[in-house]
Amino acid sequence: MVLGWEALMKYVPDIYIDSMGYAFTLPLFKYLGGCKTVSYVHYPTISTDMLQRVSDRTQSHNNASFISQSPTLSWAKTQYYKMFAYLYGIMGRRSDKVMVNSTWTFNHIQKLWKVADRTYIIYPPCDISEFTKIPLTNCHVQKTIVSIAQFRPEKDHGLQIRSFSKFLKSHSKDKQIYKLLLVGSCRNEGDSTRVKELRDLCTMLNIEDNVEFKLNVSFEELKDLMSTSVIGIHTMWNEHFGIGVVELMAAGTIILAHNSGGPKLDIVTDYNHQKTGYLAEDVDSYSAAMKTIFNLKDEESLVIRQNARLSVERFSEGEFERGFLMVCESLLQKDP
């Protein structure tokens, strides 16, 4: 709100668009600045899922164990979240138009902001032009799974490693032909520590020779790794959209994504009445899906990959521009 006030004092616009999640700045511009207001919500500042996890005392990356194990602290955090969600809803309703980036975000914003009559799903722009140039072939000598994600806790690389380990146990005779590539950037010391912990997990599971860490790779190397991989894996629970999932599908890998959030509701959905990929949610279902995908016949694999590539055209930059301008058009008209 302080930042919003500073901006308002420097310049009063006709239309204020918040695309950063600063809902508490909306009343400043609407009532003090007399502006028309628009929100483009990528991820709700708070969600009903977050409330439920705290209420259920479920440990996660944003609900520390010392809180989840304490009834008193869990109760206090739940009350704080409820109060914050209530205020967040009041602020969000100051938007004249609301855009959200996925069905998952839409559902949560509806529960919190309750403005269905002026809320629109506008998928984020995904530049997939370079990925769609990768030829769709079935010439994979090595059976490779590729993951593209920053080494953040919510990306749950541990689930990828444990699932891959279980899969390898049923392929002990030809274990050496399977590889898991973890491609991502390390932003800070915390990420580097996380990578070391993941390496230690691979060693503990005795699969260190089957897992490779590719850190801070160039875009050309990224495309090369995607072009030679059979499966593209994603394991984040309740990803609000999933641009990485779209890129993996565009590149021609068979996507294996988490059965939640944007991948479940918007991306890995049937297209032209045909499958575009696979969904899973735990070690057993991920390892089973890996087995299913690697056992696909070449023609079956090619049909899924072709259909997936066609389906992600829905998320192009052109589609985003069309949707964004359609929503904002009425606000751009001069008042009589």
The whole-angstrom separation of Cα 197 and Cα 203 is 10
Are 118 and 213 found together in one domain?
Answer: no
Of residues 309 and 82, the one with the higher pLDDT is 309
Q: Which two structure tokens, joined as six digits, stand for 103?
A: 């069905």
In the chain, how many domains are there?
Answer: 2
The average pLDDT across 252-259 equals: 97
Asked if residue 91 lies in contact with residue 84, where contact means CB atoms within 8 angstroms, the answer is no
DSSP summary character for residue 293: H
Q: Which two structure tokens, joined as six digits, stand for 324?
A: 């964004």
Which phi and psi angles does 215 have, rounded to 5°?
-100, 135
Domain interval for residue 17:
1-125+318-332
Are 12 and 137 found together in one domain?
Answer: no
Which phi and psi angles does 272 have, rounded to 5°?
55, 35
Q: How distant, in Å, are the alpha carbons of 48, 101, 200 from that of 85?
A: 9, 20, 39
Q: Identify the pLDDT of residue 67.
A: 66
Asked whether residue 330 carries a pLDDT value surpassing 90, the answer given is: no
Are 149 and 269 found together in one domain?
Answer: yes
Shortest CA distance to 148 belongs to which of 291, 247, 260, 29?
Answer: 247
The whole-angstrom separation of Cα 212 and Cα 193 is 16
Q: Identify the pLDDT of residue 211.
A: 97
pLDDT digits (tens, 9 = 90+) for 37-66: 999 999 888 877 676 666 666 655 555 665
Are 3 and 96 found together in one domain?
Answer: yes
Are 149 and 294 found together in one domain?
Answer: yes
Are 169 and 307 found together in one domain?
Answer: yes
Q: Identify the pLDDT of residue 116.
A: 93
Largest CA distance in the chain: 76
The whole-angstrom separation of Cα 105 and Cα 326 is 20
Are 227 and 296 found together in one domain?
Answer: yes
Percent of the chain whose predicted confidence (pLDDT) is above 90:
77
Are 103 and 143 found together in one domain?
Answer: no
Q: Which two structure tokens, joined as six digits, stand for 266?
A: 């918007």
C-beta neighbour count of 74 within 10 angstroms: 18
Q: Identify the pLDDT of residue 335.
A: 62
- Helix H or strand E encompassing 41: strand 36-41
Helix (H) and strand (E) counts in the chain: 14, 10
Are 138 and 55 found together in one domain?
Answer: no
> Which residues are CB-contacts of 233 (< 8 A; sequence separation ≥ 6)?
145, 146, 147, 160, 180, 255, 256, 257, 286
Shortest CA distance to 321 belongs to which of 43, 125, 96?
Answer: 125
CA atoms within 13 A on the CB side of 145: 27
Q: What is the mean pLDDT of the chain?
A: 91
Asked whether residue 96 carries a pLDDT value surpassing 90, the answer given is: yes
Block residue for tokens 């950037």: 185
pLDDT digits (tens, 9 = 90+) for 147-194: 999 999 999 999 999 999 999 999 888 899 999 999 998 888 989 999
Are 191 and 92 found together in one domain?
Answer: no
Confidence of residue 78 (pLDDT cuts 50, 70, 90): confident
pTM of the model: 0.86
Q: Identify the pLDDT of residue 76.
A: 84
Q: How would you classify the pairing of strands 36-41 and 277-280?
A: unpaired
Q: What is the number of residues in the chain?
A: 336
Asked if residue 232 lies in contact with residue 253, where contact means CB atoms within 8 angstroms, the answer is yes
Are 25 and 103 found together in one domain?
Answer: yes
The whole-angstrom separation of Cα 242 and Cα 277 is 14
Are 8 and 41 found together in one domain?
Answer: yes
